[in-house]
């Protein structure tokens, strides 16, 4: 895909994928809360206790992934709506990276040639990590709750 419409389509698909991750992040956070509540209010056995701790810790990771995915969804929508004069997101993405570095008060090592497709693949990897963490939570919660 090339040109303005291709760039917009890539950005919108990436934004939609990131937004879908928000629902998964909600499930992850709820499971993390369940794990913490089970530790505080229940009296699990030692193996179940380890499993509930793992569920709670994965919930913390899931909250971070959810935050990042929500942030990335807004970034992709902004990039789709504000293409540069050359019909690509390259100039807008460079401006975004500079602004992000200014807000973070440090310079990160970024590939200046990173394309929109590379950014979308990065968001997809983040979504895959969230799905894996949530799947692990579900398995651990079932193990811990099994009588």
Percentage of the chain exceeding pLDDT 90:
56
* Helix (H) / strand (E) containing 78: helix 46-81
Is residue 82 a contact partner of residue 146, using CB atoms and an 8 Å limit?
no
Q: Using pLDDT thresholds of 50, 70 and 90, give the confidence band for residue 125.
A: very high
Q: Would you say residue 86 has pLDDT above 90?
A: no
- pLDDT in the model for residue 89: 67
CA distance 115 to 25: 26
* Mean pLDDT, rounded, of the chain: 87
CA 10/CA 12 separation, integer angstroms: 6
Please tell me the predicted confidence (pLDDT) of residue 90: 65
Q: How many residues are given for the chain?
A: 147
Q: How far apart are the first and last CA of the chain?
A: 53
Could you tell me the residue range of the domain that residue 30 belongs to?
3-145
More confident residue, 33 or 105: 33
CA-wise closest residue to 67 among 103, 28, 93: 28
Number of structural domains in the chain: 1
pLDDT value at residue 4: 65
Classify each residue of 16-38 as buried b or exposed e, where b means 16 or more C-beta atoms within 10 Å of its C-beta. ebbbebeebbebbbebbebbbeb
The answer to whether residue 71 scores a pLDDT higher than 80 is: yes
Reported as a pLDDT band with limits 50, 70 and 90, residue 18 is very high
Angle between helix axes 116-145 and 46-81 (nearest 10 degrees) is 160
């Amino acid at each position: 895909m090339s040109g303005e419409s291709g760039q917009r389509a890539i950005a919108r698909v990436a934004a939609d994928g990131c937004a879908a991750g928000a629902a998964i992040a909600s499930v992850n956070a709820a499971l993390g809360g369940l794990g913490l509540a089970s530790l505080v209010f229940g009296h699990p056995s030692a193996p179940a206790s380890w499993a509930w701790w793992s569920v709670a810790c994965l919930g913390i990771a899931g909250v971070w992934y959810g935050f990042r995915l929500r942030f990335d969804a807004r970034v992709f929508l902004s990039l789709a709506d504000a293409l540069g004069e050359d019909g690509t997101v390259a100039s807008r993405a460079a401006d975004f990276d500079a602004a992000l570095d200014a807000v973070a008060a440090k310079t990160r090592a970024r590939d200046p040639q990173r394309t929109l497709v590379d950014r979308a693949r990065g968001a997809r990897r983040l979504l895959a990590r969230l799905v894996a963490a949530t799947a692990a939570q579900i398995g651990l919660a079932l193990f811990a709750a099994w009588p």
